[in-house]
Amino acid sequence: MEAAAIGAFGALIVLIINRGFSWSIFHDSVVNTCRMTAMIMWIFFGALLFQHIYSAMGAAEMVDSIFTGLEVSNRTRSS
């Protein structure tokens, strides 16, 4: 089992024992969790899309050719 799930379950038990549980609070926390997860997924999707477009345009090869074309002696290169 995942540690975060165990922690969330423990917090839910503590709320029930202390009579602080309400369905409106539970609903709000689920909605906010879904919103945060969706935002993070959009960030990952945007980064992945940017990486694919960047590679498809050949920009990675251009940056590579810039750095490999520099006149650097063998003593200054790290192995």
**Torsion angle of alpha carbons 39, 41, 47, 48, nearest 10°?**
-160
- Is 73 a member of any domain? no
pTM beyond cutoff 0.75: no
* Residue 79 reports pLDDT greater than 60: no
Structural domains of the chain, count: 1
Contacts of residue 60, defined as CB under 8 A and 6 or more positions apart, other chains included, come to: 54
- Using pLDDT thresholds of 50, 70 and 90, give the confidence band for residue 77: low
Does residue 49 sit within a domain?
A: yes
Residue 23 in domain: yes
| Structural domain for 21, as ranges | 3-68
CA atoms within a 13 Å half-sphere pointing along the CA-CB vector of 32: 6
Res 72 pLDDT > 80: no
| Tens-digit pLDDT profile for residues 25-66 | 889 989 999 999 999 999 999 999 999 999 899 888 888 888
